[in-house]
Structure 1
Amino acid sequence: MPLIDRRSLMIAGGALTALPFAARAAPGAGTPFSWNIVQQRAAALARQPYRPPTPVAAAAAIDFDAVGAIRFRPDRTLAGGIRLFPLGNGATLPVAINIVEGGRARAVAFSPDLFEAKASVPPGFAGFRIMEAGRESDWLAFLGATYFRAAGSQDQYGLSARAVAIDTGLDGREQFPRFTEFWIEPTGTRHVIYALLDGESVTGACRFTSTHDGGVMQDVSVVLHLRRDIARLGIAPATSMFWYDDRAQRGATDWRPEIHDSDGLAIWTAGGERLWRPLRNPARPTTDSFDATDVRGFGLIQRDRAFDHYQDDGAFYDRRPDLWVEPRGTWGAGEIMLYAFPTTSETVDNVAAFWVPAAPARAGQRLQFDYRLRWTSQDPSADRGARVVDARVGDAGRPGAAAVAGARKLVVDYQGDGLIGLTRDSGVVADLSIAHGRLLASAAYPVVGQRDRWRVTADIAPDPNATADVRLFLRRGAAALGETLLFPLDLT
């Protein structure tokens, strides 16, 4: 997984005033265009040897501060509110950009006059963003490799998506195919974005039908052609940052109580079970997998949205969007993988989640995946039962007494409408199972003064040389009352 410099991306994607849009292409201009044409180009490209792109030499000299000083001229804004990113030392590979109107595509020609800058602007475009009409912000941006981001429902960027992940989490083997050409078709409040993808092991055609109305929704179609066998093919990948929260501040040097873009992975299984796996900043790279055959949905979620938990009035981590993936059609057998590596900074994206098909990814295959992306601040994985709102770890044993050696206490709070009216006499129990560890004691009870909140406490002895995998949910009789917590627990 790459060390994504979030600061550079956020500077490049900063808000500019949206002035009236430039005139559209004249009728009959450009060349014929269709979704089929993009797919045909991807298929033809897969039959050719991979040719590494040539960076623009002048872009390497444009450092972070210089890139931040280059601004696309508001009066040159393209149809549909489109503005273009300049090249710089963090983005030295140009992409071709076309505007589509009436079934015809018109290439956008580079000119330094498109930008306001104190120094020369290297030739070419690094990507683009789409401005909100009449507002001083943008809501969608494509920049770098196959990365893209949306501002969600609170006008705030956070985590990123990618078109595909290749060998993420495999030591030194990850590849980063890139978008080489875009076609953008703005129609009212909807933007259809087509992209040609090229890389060492894969080519592809991508279509993103994007709307912005109280959040951002994208209907995505990705058609891949494999040039080579791929050990780990990641579909619908999301990339985020988790430095620390109030559970663990190892390596934290900042005064803010929490710093993260997402705090958990949510999964909705084919059988209807809701899973919640809190994120963490691991001491070493980790890869976890979860069965996701015919998965209904999954995503990286920012569940904690209390401003005072972050105290950040500049980066606004309480406003960072969730990213929820809903497969279209049947994806079949596969698993969700969660990869994380250590970070000591909020500028590095250190978490990735994606779906991996069970069938081997072999050279010569054509694979198609259709899905919907929802960028929102309303947790789409929540239901009317109960969800995990806190999970904390401390010393095992009775408070005030000596800690139990070789054990830890896990304290989990559930909250939801399904808990209202339940008492200690309602037959609610904590259903716990533990791999690589032993349960010493547990209890489940309503939190005093909270009408819809229950607490589970569990003293657990992990195996000395392994991380205990805890699986927990509240149950009343045979019925689960909400989502299942998946929690890694060790003695550190």
Structure 2
Amino acid sequence: MDRRSLLKTSLILAAWSGLPAASLFAAARTNDNIDDEAQPFDFDMLQRRARDMASKEYQSNRVTLPPTLASLTPQQYNAIRYDPSHSLWHDVEGRQLDAQLFHVGMGFDQPVRVYKVDPETQQAREFHFSPELFDYQGANVDASQLQEDLGFAGFRVFKAPSLTERDILSFLGASYFRAVGHTEQYGLSARGVAVNSYFDTPEEFPAFTHFWLETPAADSTTFTTYALLDSPSLTGAYRFVIHCEDDRVVMDIDKHLFPRQEIAQLGIAPLTSMFFCGTHQRRMCNTIHPQIHDSDRLTMWRGNDEWVCRPLNNPPRVQFNAFTDSNPKGFGLLQMHQDFEHYEDVLSNYHRRPSLWVEPRDEWGDGEIHLLEIPTTGETTDNIVAFWKPAQPVEAGQALNFSYRLYWSGERPFDSGLVKIDTTRSGMGGFTEGWAPGEHYPDVWARRFAVDFIEGDIESLWNGDRNVYATISASTGEVRDVQLLWMDPVKSLRVLFDWYPENDLQDPVDMRMVLEADGEIISETWLYQYFPPPPEKRIYPPHPVPQAPAAE
């Protein structure tokens, strides 16, 4: 199954097989959907379970849904409401957090088992599905088909004072999860793990199959959940300590992976986002909106302390880039522009979407940050993937441990102290900026780039005695006519340059730039990948020729 067909395939309707309850989950329970018997639980037990599963053949937990659920449209699925009087933590008086469960249906046909854990006794009780937990008004669901224990699709968490109205994080579908920043708007997603996202075999989507949720203290905005992951290639035991802060959500993640087989491309801390068009790529922005994206850049804080900004692309063809590093200090997909005027979109609220930053909490050794960019013609398809790939081969029987922190926030959690890259733009080149090309366009085609630098001490550096200049390189072609312009209205420094091709090839051109002052690097590193047009399009638009008025 490839990425583009995942959602389509999951929506294919299958015949109802009438699975009995015993084939899914069967247990004695009380009237409030909770098992009578509690079972001991801790993270060590979960790790042992995952390790034991990895030594056995994979057994899929995908089920055939009853027709009334398999045929749901997205609008109908979203109309299914959970009854908050049955929320997982509704009996905690004065609670700051509460949790509700997602219904299976539509493409969500891998049920998960959900357990409530008492953190004091470390005893877990399974919480079971029943139609009485949900309100189906407006969803066109035939409840008579829902007599079995169908399980759940995932869960979501609410924070006071909005304990029933607006969730702040959710786990739903395969190993996907996401959270909000201070604006309480969802955007990009994270995953438990990625397997062969860009390889010569179809991508694999491991899934969380079980969740254990510890009941938080009444006055706490932090809770812990555990997850069991399973797939043909590996199993995993996860612990999430989730801090629901006032202006962001922070997740401390410990995961232990147990491969069943060799894995060519294992993605740690994978991030998934959407980039349709932005300031530097206008060919797709044939819309009323100036920009459309969940994230606009990949930012990396490398092990050698270099800060790198890589603007995202909606490329003409699938592009894969690998950035070698050792013990990275962090990376993330960021949404830097957070003013409404950048998007002019009152439906999707792109200006309110969070950035997501990964901070390793132990040494990850040698490896690469991988970036996959997939062409898309719309804003409903996630086409950006970024993750860490360890350099060491992944073999069956190994135990791989990773610890990291995720920051879901409007701002990246660390300040580089350097001059930052704000915006990248491009357009026609080959003539003096600020002048019309005149009667004739240049004979040689060129592309102009403008990169704006902000913050740090850029203004004092520019107005001081130090010599500030840009160092620019390109993998092919020639960089000419470099200019630095101070833009006082916005207190930023713009670097202009023209790129001239050296051949007719359309291979991507890798560009690199830093600002220096008297030989000292003062800015983040700008990395950019440009896709030259075919030779027949390397022309300037026809210049209008004045016509004499027609004789009367």
TM-score bin (small chain): over 0.9
Specify which structure has the higher proportion of strand. Answer: 1
Deviations 1:242-272 (A, max 9, x none): 1112332334453222111000000001111
Amino acid paired to 2:450: V
Aligned to 2:113: 96
Amino acid paired to 1:134: P
How many angstroms apart in 2 are the aligned matches of 1:28 and 1:72?
Answer: 23
CA contact (8 A) 1:446 1:454 kept: yes
How many angstroms apart in 2 are the aligned matches of 1:142 and 1:27?
Answer: 23
CA contact (8 A) 1:56 1:94 kept: no
Work out whether 1:127 is the aligned partner of 2:154.
yes
CA contact (8 A) 2:33 2:130 kept: no
* Structure-1-length-normalised TM-score: 0.92
Aligned to 1:320: 353
Work out whether 1:482 is the aligned partner of 2:520.
no
Residue 195 of structure 1, aligned match among 227, 241, 245: 227
Q: Could you tell me how far 1:208 is from its partner in structure 2?
A: 0.8
Amino acid paired to 2:514: F
How many angstroms apart in 2 are the aligned matches of 1:225 and 1:394?
Answer: 49
Deviations 1:28-71 (A, max 9, x none): 95110100011011001001001222323213233323212210
SS at match of 2:511: strand
CA contact (8 A) 2:476 2:509 kept: yes
Residues 381 and 303 of structure 1: is their aligned pair in 2 closer, same or farther, counting only changes over 3 Å?
farther
Residue 73 of structure 1, aligned match among 79, 83, 88: 83
Residues 379 and 404 of structure 1: is their aligned pair in 2 closer, same or farther, counting only changes over 3 Å?
farther
CA contact (8 A) 2:34 2:126 kept: no
Residues 251 and 457 of structure 1: is their aligned pair in 2 closer, same or farther, counting only changes over 3 Å?
closer
Amino acid paired to 1:2: R
Amino acid paired to 1:120: D
Q: Could you tell me how far 1:448 is from its partner in structure 2?
A: 3.6
How many angstroms apart in 2 are the aligned matches of 1:432 and 1:404?
Answer: 24
How many angstroms apart in 1 are the aligned matches of 2:320 and 2:389?
Answer: 13
Work out whether 1:114 is the aligned partner of 2:133.
yes
Amino acid paired to 1:127: G
* Structure-2-length-normalised TM-score: 0.82
Work out whether 1:415 is the aligned partner of 2:432.
no
How many angstroms apart in 1 are the aligned matches of 2:455 and 2:289?
Answer: 28
How many angstroms apart in 2 are the aligned matches of 1:490 and 1:197?
Answer: 39
Q: Which has the higher contact order (CA 8 A, sep 6+)?
A: 1
How many angstroms apart in 1 are the aligned matches of 2:35 and 2:53?
Answer: 30
Unaligned runs of 5+ in 2: 11-30, 90-96, 534-552
Stretch moving more, 362-371 or 374-383: 374-383
Residues 106 and 229 of structure 1: is their aligned pair in 2 closer, same or farther, counting only changes over 3 Å?
same
Residue 446 of structure 1, aligned match among 476, 483, 486: 486
Q: Could you tell me how far 1:459 is from its partner in structure 2?
A: 1.3
Aligned to 1:169: 198
Q: Could you tell me how far 1:163 is from its partner in structure 2?
A: 0.7
Residue 248 of structure 2, aligned match among 205, 215, 220: 215
Q: Could you tell me how far 1:240 is from its partner in structure 2?
A: 0.3
Work out whether 1:373 is the aligned partner of 2:392.
no
Deviations 1:295-340 (A, max 9, x none): 0000000011110111112221001011000001110001101001
Q: Could you tell me how far 1:198 is from its partner in structure 2?
A: 0.4
Amino acid paired to 1:205: A
Residues 24 and 150 of structure 1: is their aligned pair in 2 closer, same or farther, counting only changes over 3 Å?
farther
Deviations 1:350-386 (A, max 9, x none): 1000001111111211100100000000133543321
How many angstroms apart in 2 are the aligned matches of 1:196 and 1:35?
Answer: 10
SS at match of 1:75: helix
Residues 468 and 26 of structure 1: is their aligned pair in 2 closer, same or farther, counting only changes over 3 Å?
closer
Q: Could you tell me how far 1:422 is from its partner in structure 2?
A: 2.6
Aligned to 1:456: 495
Work out whether 1:2 is the aligned partner of 2:3.
yes
How many angstroms apart in 1 are the aligned matches of 2:529 and 2:174?
Answer: 32
Stretch moving more, 453-462 or 149-158: 453-462
Aligned residues between the structures: 477
SS at match of 1:312: coil
Residues 25 and 329 of structure 1: is their aligned pair in 2 closer, same or farther, counting only changes over 3 Å?
farther
How many angstroms apart in 2 are the aligned matches of 1:462 and 1:305?
Answer: 35
Amino acid paired to 1:350: N
Deviations 1:453-481 (A, max 9, x none): 11111112245322221110100123111
SS at match of 1:125: coil
SS at match of 1:57: coil
Aligned to 2:45: 37
Q: Could you tell me how far 1:182 is from its partner in structure 2?
A: 0.4
Deviations 1:209-260 (A, max 9, x none): 0011120000001110011111111000000011112332334453222111
Q: Could you tell me how far 1:141 is from its partner in structure 2?
A: 0.2
Residues 407 and 380 of structure 1: is their aligned pair in 2 closer, same or farther, counting only changes over 3 Å?
farther
CA contact (8 A) 1:243 1:260 kept: yes
How many angstroms apart in 2 are the aligned matches of 1:2 and 1:44?
Answer: 29
How many angstroms apart in 2 are the aligned matches of 1:94 and 1:408?
Answer: 52
Aligned to 1:87: 104
List aligned pairs for 1:118-157, cutoff 5 A: 118=137, 119-120=141-142, 122=146, 123-135=150-162, 136-157=165-186
Stretch moving more, 234-243 or 424-433: 424-433
Amino acid paired to 2:192: A
Q: Could you tell me how far 1:134 is from its partner in structure 2?
A: 2.2
CA contact (8 A) 2:34 2:127 kept: no
Residue 301 of structure 1, aligned match among 334, 337, 352: 334
CA contact (8 A) 2:482 2:498 kept: yes
Work out whether 1:48 is the aligned partner of 2:56.
yes
Deviations 1:161-202 (A, max 9, x none): 001000002255210110110001132211111000000101
Amino acid paired to 1:166: V
Deviations 1:275-314 (A, max 9, x none): 0000111111110111221100000000111101111122
How many angstroms apart in 1 are the aligned matches of 2:75 and 2:487?
Answer: 51
CA contact (8 A) 1:266 1:276 kept: yes
CA contact (8 A) 1:386 1:418 kept: yes
CA contact (8 A) 1:25 1:106 kept: no
Aligned to 2:550: none
SS at match of 1:422: helix
Work out whether 1:310 is the aligned partner of 2:343.
yes
Stretch moving more, 364-373 or 71-80: 71-80
- Work out the percentage of aligned pairs sharing the same amino acid: 38
Work out whether 1:178 is the aligned partner of 2:207.
yes
How many angstroms apart in 2 are the aligned matches of 1:292 and 1:54?
Answer: 38
